[in-house]
Structure 1
Amino acid sequence: MKYLYSFLLVGLLISCARPQAISTFPATKAHLQDGEQFYTINGLKHWVKVKNSQQQTTPVVILHGGPGGNNYNFERTAGPLLESFATVVYYEQRGSGRSEAPKNPEDYTLPMLINDLEVLRDSLGAQKLVLLGYSFGAELALRYALAHPDRVEKLILSDPAELSRSNMLVQIQGFYSLGDSVVKTGIDKILKDTTELEEKYGCVWGLSNSALVDRFLFVNQEIAARNREMWKESKLVNTGLMAKVYIKNNKMDLVEKATGLPIPTMLISGVYDRNGGLHTALELKKVLPNSTIKLYENSAHFPDMEEPERFAADIKAFLSGK
């Protein structure tokens, strides 16, 4: 695949056993201090950056998308606005961004990612976390909350794009709606072949050039251009390995599993999100009894970049209980 920001690669790998949890830091609040450092979690160095620890609020942990993305862009857009009123913890998942990759390329299963996050919570000395996940990070946040509901104070799920079969179809439809005659003809041909949906999905992404992907992910093309500039300046690469493992091993429907979860949750979605986030957010709103939804009229998949001031204001109000 050419473009790795959301769920962009398809492949087959087999998961392996979860390693024993290891942290280089004991559970003490003395370690919730500003700055960048690496936490050794399950034998891998994970990049962590803490900002505004003097607020002494429940840490807001930022979970990036991908799978296999990073927080570089978020740190430079919505992130500073959140830091003005909350203790923010930027965290990059195993093999993502500035974090160390496992030697075994199969070690990217959801149970491993959930366990990594639990070890991080313990290492930060936090009894509870506020989880702010965007795109795939929203799914990881919700799945962690399902596994450890007593450890999550609140959930903020921004464009929660689970890579389900229905969301694959939503994405394919999105590309078709935006594509020119060449793209539309190519998609028509792909959909008529006898391959599995996952392979069709990958082929559709392969048809898409950078301009089409930008229109798919953003309403404002100036912001899309700035997004690409930050990708380049970060020098961070998504290998696609996590996405391959995810697609092979994830058999649990997110909406079905989340039904009835009582944790206070704010769902955020751009109304032009063709990446599946709007579809998933609307479905989650139906099954989460203590949830609210915010729709952003000038955004697609990244309202944190297209409407950052409103994004931060909504989160501030949600955290304060307003």
Structure 2
Amino acid sequence: MKTISNGTFFNIRGKDLYVERHGPKDGYPVLYLHGGPGMGCYEFCYHQANPLSDKVRLIAIDQRGCCRSEMIQEDEFFSLHDIVLDCEALRKELGIDKWTLLGHSFGGFIALKYTTMFPDAVSRILFECPAFDFGLSAKSLLHKTSQIAEKEDMKRLVKECLGLAESDESTRELMMGFIELRPKLGEKGREIHEHNFNHPTDYSFYTEAEWEKFTNRSDVHNQRLMDGGLMFDSLLDNLKNIRQPALLINGQYDPVTCAEQLERFCKDVRGGEVITLQHSGHFPHAEEPEEFTNVVEEFLVREEM
């Protein structure tokens, strides 16, 4: 392995995986799984690495082919399962018996998949605004896009969003449709996912050229996941198999974890708990950082007792 300024590259299953580690070695081991797909762990670590590091042994990764991790090559096989297998290989590499998973958005999907495949490796699960079913999430995102468009008197966009959201299109088509329609809102598009803008992320640690390189890598990662199709399979039925203590942290204004998914979590996860932060959208860890840190630490301490 080789070390850089704030992270380490581990060769995991033949690829260099970017890994950040924060906090004491005897802290609660927590693996952070980022969303996007392809977002990387930079933004989460910017807001949470230092606050959590008093009690948490935080391990945060850029998933295979994302951002600072090694790029996926054109002739290289890659699927959603590779992300899960990478995490399990990293756990063994770090000598961790069991760890808590903290999955944000698409990372929640990965966390649930990992728990299904390797239940004995997981002590607890934290979901932050997860997407367990991308079809339901896409419809909710389209409805929120239409609400913002209506406020902006963008009648055609309202019609396009509602028409697609109320259609019988596949999960893939719903997601692709949302991705195509969102840019029509311009700067207002931020309001789909964000509610509280008081805690911006400083991305100046890397140059614009470096961020462009990271984004290009993530684009390959994203496209390959979409081409593979596994991310379009609903994992709602997997919720009933969770046996670990589980907490879902949601933002009051988050459109991704829609009502149907929250209802299934509450119904199917034995002892599962939901905490809603009142001034957040899709990024409670950044929009209400102190409250988020407190919720995570209280959950870990409570479940350890």
What is the TM-score normalised by the length of structure 1? 0.80
Q: Is the 8 A contact 1:146 1:258 kept in 2?
A: no
RMSD: 2.8
Aligned equivalent of 1:86: 56
Once the two structures are TM-superposed, the CA of residue 197 in structure 1 deviates from its matched residue by 5.5
Aligned equivalent of 2:72: 102
Q: Is the 8 A contact 1:219 1:272 kept in 2?
A: yes
Aligned equivalent of 1:177: 147
Aligned equivalent of 2:131: 161
Matches within 5 A, 1:1-322: 36-54=7-25, 56-104=26-74, 107-179=77-149, 180-182=152-154, 183-187=157-161, 196=170, 198-209=172-183, 210-223=186-199, 226-227=200-201, 235=211, 236-237=214-215, 238-239=218-219, 241-242=221-222, 244-246=224-226, 248-250=229-231, 252-276=233-257, 279-321=260-302
Residues 165/68 of structure 1: CA separation in 2 closer, same or farther (3 Å cut): same
Q: Is the 8 A contact 1:64 1:134 kept in 2?
A: yes
Aligned equivalent of 1:18: none
Structure 2 SS opposite 1:239: helix
Instruction: State the identity %.
Output: 23
Q: Is the 8 A contact 2:133 2:233 kept in 1?
A: no
Once the two structures are TM-superposed, the CA of residue 205 in structure 1 deviates from its matched residue by 2.7
Q: Which moved more, 1:197-206 or 1:135-144?
A: 197-206
Aligned AA for 1:42?
R
Residues 74/102 of structure 1: CA separation in 2 closer, same or farther (3 Å cut): same
Residues 99/316 of structure 1: CA separation in 2 closer, same or farther (3 Å cut): same
What is the TM-score normalised by the length of structure 2? 0.84
CA distance, structure 1, for counterparts of residue 187 and residue 54 of structure 2: 34
Task: Identify unmatched segments of 5+ residues in structure 1.
Answer: 1-23, 26-33
Aligned AA for 1:311?
F
Higher helix share: 2
Aligned AA for 1:258?
L
Q: Is the 8 A contact 2:38 2:66 kept in 1?
A: yes
Once the two structures are TM-superposed, the CA of residue 202 in structure 1 deviates from its matched residue by 2.1
Give the length in aligned residue pairs. 288
Residues 294/196 of structure 1: CA separation in 2 closer, same or farther (3 Å cut): closer
CA distance, structure 2, for counterparts of residue 105 and residue 274 of structure 1: 36
Structure 1 SS opposite 2:47: coil
Aligned AA for 2:187?
A
